[in-house]
Amino acid sequence: MVKSPLVSIFILQKNWSPFLSLPATFIYTHIIQTIPRYKDAWIVVLMLSPVEQFGLSMVDRLWQTGSKDCSILATDVETGSVIARLENAHENAINSLINLTESTVASGDDEGCIKVWDTRQRSCSGSFNAHEDYVSDMSFVPDSMKLITTSGDGTLSVCNLRTYKIQTRSEFSEDELTSVVVMKNGRKVICGSQGGTLLLYSWGFFKDCSDRFVDLSPNSVEAMLKLDEDRLITGTENGLISLVGILPNRIIQPIAEHSEYPVEGLAFSHDRRFLGSISHDQMLKLWDLNDILQSSENTVKGQDASSDSDSDGMDVDDNPRSTKGTKTKNANKGAGFSGSNNFFADI
């Protein structure tokens, strides 16, 4: 069997069961490892095929996975038993999954459709045809109940979870957008791109980016992890992990080199002492952040809001553009199946 790259990672507290058994029909391989020098955590890593994305409900302790077969699976982390499975959740392969609240999750597929699921009612609460290509990443802003999404079509969308309308959509960028984080206390949205440029959008001005940071080019920014309101950690296709400052924009320092392969996922331990990274080399690597963060602690702290060139007070516009995208999808994306509105019907 051809090995698949590691694409997702969570580092959990050790007071959860140190064993998780998921059906082989949904994942080919799972790796669970207790770290001897780090007694308060254990690590769960899932392989790419057929599961593409997963999320964790910390309250319900459910392990939620989205798959190429268009299904969503809920698994009990404590026992490893399957709680529920939703067949045909999307018409196309599920490419992204995110926990929103204690009882809601959102999923995105290969054709740009995003669905929000109520796990208590076990039904689809609403959907957005937000993009023309695969949904690459999502970020939830709870204060305004907005879901920020990026896509292979090169656009960023703002989905209103109160009205279930697409509140705004950006112009098409030159590259596929691969990742997204919200920073500067909600005033800035940072998007990673296939060409390695970070696009900075000011909240309320999503049509076009307000700034670009090109120092990571030409390597695709495959993963981003927010450290604080001024700094984020990036993983790029050349295997490098870097600490990046936002406004002022600069690479503060390289953190590590995972391998020569793309960094597909990044995660903190619960106390943020360790950073975990995964890549196509089939290896999970842990990096001690103590020394790294101490040496860069004072480099970008205390930046004033006046660093932003745009006003941050405007509301987002309500009429997204309807122009079609021109980007082609990745060759490995899945085929479609019929949809369903019954969440986890076959319990």
> pLDDT, tens digit, for every residue of 126-149?
999 999 999 999 999 999 999 999
pLDDT of 157 strictly over 90? yes
**Residue 311, domain member (yes or no):** no
Query: What average pLDDT does the segment 98-102 reach?
Result: 88
How confident is the model at residue 259, as a pLDDT?
A: 87
Mean pLDDT highest for which of 21-35, 65-79, 302-316, 326-340? 65-79
**Residue 252, domain member (yes or no):** no
Calculate the dihedral angle through the C-alpha atoms of 301, 304, 307, 313, rounding to the nearest 10 degrees. 130
Which has the minimum average pLDDT: 29-43, 67-81, 186-200, 272-286?
29-43
**Residue 54, domain member (yes or no):** yes
Whole-angstrom distance, CA of residue 300 vs CA of residue 245: 6
Q: pLDDT class for 151, splitting at 50, 70, 90?
A: very high
**Contact status, residue 255 vs residue 241, Cβ threshold 8 Å:** yes
Query: What average pLDDT does the segment 330-335 reach?
Result: 37
**Stronger pLDDT, 19 or 67, i.e. the higher one:** 67
**Residue 122, domain member (yes or no):** yes
- CATH number of the domain enclosing 96: 2.40.10.480
Q: pLDDT class for 278, splitting at 50, 70, 90?
A: confident
- Max Cα-Cα span within the chain: 55
Residue span of the structural domain in which 78 resides: 50-129
**Residue 13, domain member (yes or no):** no
**Contact status, residue 284 vs residue 46, Cβ threshold 8 Å:** no
How confident is the model at residue 231, as a pLDDT?
A: 96
Q: Which two tokens stand for residue 110?
A: 């290969």
**Stronger pLDDT, 206 or 16, i.e. the higher one:** 206
With a CB cutoff of 8 Å and minimum separation 6, the contacts of 242 are 216, 233, 234, 236, 251, 252, 253, 254, 255
How confident is the model at residue 82, as a pLDDT?
A: 84
Own/partner long-range contacts of 20-23 (Cβ < 8 Å, ≥24 apart)? 20/44, 20/63, 20/75, 20/77, 20/80, 21/80, 22/46, 22/63, 22/65, 22/73, 22/75, 22/80, 23/82
Query: What average pLDDT does the segment 153-182 reach?
Result: 96
**Residue 282, domain member (yes or no):** no
Return the bridge partners of 98, or none. Answer: 106
**Residue 106, domain member (yes or no):** yes
**Residue 253, domain member (yes or no):** no
**Contact status, residue 73 vs residue 80, Cβ threshold 8 Å:** no
How confident is the model at residue 274, as a pLDDT?
A: 87
How confident is the model at residue 295, as a pLDDT?
A: 65
- Say how many CA atoms lie within 13 Å of 111 toward its Cβ: 14
For 233-252, the pLDDT digits (tens) are 999 999 999 999 999 999 99
**How many domains is the chain partitioned into structurally?**
1
Query: What average pLDDT does the segment 150-173 reach?
Result: 97
Which residue in this structure is represented by tokens 């920014």? 221
How confident is the model at residue 58, as a pLDDT?
A: 42
Three-state DSSP class for 56?
Answer: strand
Indicate the DSSP class of residue 294.
H
**Stronger pLDDT, 83 or 188, i.e. the higher one:** 188
Q: Please state, rounded to an integer, the average pLDDT across all residues of the chain.
A: 75
How confident is the model at residue 175, as a pLDDT?
A: 95
Task: List % helix, strand, coil for the chain (3-state, nearest 5).
Answer: 5, 45, 50
Please name the helix (run of DSSP H) or strand (run of DSSP E) that holds residue 291, with its range, or none: helix 290-295
Q: What angle do CA 307, 300, 236 make, to 5 degrees?
A: 100
